[in-house]
Chains A and B, each alone.
Chain A
Amino acid sequence: MAQTQTVNVKQTKETKKKKVKQKKLKKVTPGWVILYIFMILLVAFTALPLIYMISTAFKPLDELFAFPPKFFVRRPTLQNFRDLLSSLSSSTVPFTRYIFNSLIVTVITVICTVMVSCMGAYGLVKHKPPGSQTLFNIIIAALMFSPHVTQIPRYMVVNKLGLINTYGALILPNIAVAYNFFLIKQFTEQFPDELLEAARIDGANEWVAFWNIVMPALTPAWSTLVVFSFVSSWNDYFSPLIFTTSQVMKTLPLALQTIAGGPATSSIGRAGAVAAATFLMTMPTVVIFTSMQSRVLETMTYSGIKG
């Protein structure tokens, strides 16, 4: 009885707090109005190219070439997507193949990098085996150079392993990324040791402790990592550029560049297909981020890991 009462008291306190917060937010001052207007202008700058891109993907042919150019689509159609999938599939490699390549490479890379980084960070932070400080220093150093630096030796390694023109070449080198490890490590450090000790005393083995206790608590961290690695893998232009020579193994960025024809050509005949391909190339990252966003941003505060 006493317990429920305290709970009630807590709840009313919390609702009171919320009300106070809402009141604070409702106060409209000129400063806030200006701020909101400024923010909306900035949003226009960031969002307009995207809106144009989306709108163009659904434009029928005559609107694509209308002069003066039109920003919004008047009569939306899916014809561009049909063109993309049908007209280009008559060429040697159907466009769906590029989509498939991109999907499989990205999904495997994301799963592997999340698993490998989380496991590594757990081993490093919660066991601190000899040499872990050195390893961490090396990882910090590795943060400070772009992946391009190691691209040449990587090419040699991939070449030696006979991985050129395989999915392996696009996946393996991109799993152990210093950034990803660093990010997860920072969060793992804040996970309380006591919880782990308690689980171990209860008889949980290391894998169970990691998988059932640490991983759920790190959900915000690895959700963030899912977003980051999905984006970088999906948009990766350099790896397929150097690790693949066969058309069949190319991924979307290269395929898109090929059909768009680069900056020098105007590729009028394919404008519709290019617009559709651009849409297909861009939307998955936005969708992934949007679907993860609430987890990435909201669960931060409720994750029970306080800094």
Chain B
Amino acid sequence: MEPKVKIWWRKYGIGYLFMLPFLILFITFVVVPVFVALTTSFTNYNMLQPPKWQGMTNYKLLFMDDDVFITALRNTFTFAFITGPIGYFMSLLMAWVIDQLKFRNAFALAFYAPSITSSIAMSVVWLYIFSGDRYGLLNNILINIGIIQEPILWNMDPEYIMSVIIIIAIWMSMGTGFLVFLAGLQNIPREFYEAAAIDGIKNKFYELWYITLPLMKPQLLFGAINSIVSSFGVFDIAVSVAGMPSPNYAGHTIVAHLYDYAFIRFQMGYASAIAIVLFLMTFLLGRGAMRLLSSDDM
């Protein structure tokens, strides 16, 4: 029966061999951790003593007693529901417009560059712009125009922190999606447009709606999931602009809360419950996006 084995090997075995490195790392660092996180979230675990099972206690505490978590939840939702859609549709629109312009590469670079900068690094610049004293660019301009008399503590005043974070995030929002969209647009065969033109579709927006978008569904879905996950995972910007903990927790996000409990207080059980809540939120939204944008490709 050796030939059969050989055939199997040629057909599938080599496939497994090619997938092996990915599988090992993926299972170790992604698949198993999800289940470990889920299990840990029902326990009390501080990494020194063995975990103690305590059922839903962590979740109850999280939603009933932890005001800071509710603040983090509210901040994250505010952030995600503003920056997510704006970033997504801006990148789609910009990709579509830029694809038809001259100097396409220059425009693409100009729009994409902010999103590939480190939010930690750029926060240095933004902190200068939003600096709370008279030296701050924005305060300086506003005082000179006469809109405000006294400098505003943009990144220290709880009233403004979230707005500042959102503005920076929007500046950085032409992320992965933009590049994927641009690539997708270029992958659409020109003949489709020519055929459509013969069929009478002349208006650019009809073209976008009836030809471009349906053909770009896989990219649109990829971009949507990407933007959901990244907007709910906001952390770097918030920490580098408002600090940790931020004044009055005005810049506190879910991931900041997770970091606080996991790696400062080492309450792994409680932190895992936070992780699972975050997981469920992005997962459900991602499912929704899939339902909306699914195509035969998937």
Contact = CB atoms under 8 A, between A and B. Distances in A.
B30 A150 contact: yes
Interface of A: 25, 35-36, 39, 42-43, 45-47, 49-50, 52-53, 56, 67-69, 115-117, 119-120, 122-124, 126-130, 132, 135, 138-157, 159, 172-173, 175-176, 178-179, 181-183, 186, 189, 206, 210, 220, 224, 227-228, 231, 234-235, 237-238, 241-242, 252-253, 256-257, 260, 262-264, 266, 274-275, 277-278, 281-282, 285-286, 289-290, 293-294, 296-297, 300-301, 306-307
A237 B32 CA distance: 23
Contacts, number: 306
Contact of B122 (A49, A126, A266): A49
B187 A300 contact: yes
Contact of A157 (B29, B179, B228, B232): B29
Contacts of A152: 33, 36-37, 40, 258, 262, 268, 271-272, 275
Interface string B228-256: 11101101100011110000000000010
Contact of B140 (A68, A141, A154): A68
B25 A116 contact: yes
Contact of B19 (A123, A157, A173, A178): A123
Nearest to A264: B243
20 contacts: A39-B101, A50-B113, A67-B134, A69-B128, A123-B17, A126-B15, A127-B12, A140-B298, A142-B30, A144-B229, A145-B282, A151-B262, A179-B226, A235-B117, A264-B243, A297-B182, A300-B186, A301-B187, A306-B187, A307-B187
A237 B11 CA distance: 42
A176 B22 contact: yes
Contact of B33 (A154, A206, A286): A154
A287 to B, nearest CB: 10
Contacts of A127: 11-12, 14-16, 18
Contacts of B22: 116-117, 119-120, 176, 181
A69 B233 contact: no
Contact of B25 (A129, A176, A278): A176
Contact of B120 (A117, A281, A286): A281
Given A147-B233, A289-B113, 8 more contacts: A128-B12, A138-B31, A145-B283, A149-B276, A176-B24, A282-B122, A289-B112, A293-B108
Interface of B: 11-19, 21-26, 28-34, 36-37, 40, 47, 94, 97-98, 101-102, 104-105, 107-114, 116-129, 131, 134-135, 137, 140, 144, 155-156, 171, 174, 176, 179-180, 182-183, 186-189, 215, 218, 222, 225-226, 228-230, 232-233, 235-236, 240-243, 255, 258-259, 262-263, 268, 271-272, 275-276, 278-279, 282-283, 285-287, 290, 297-298
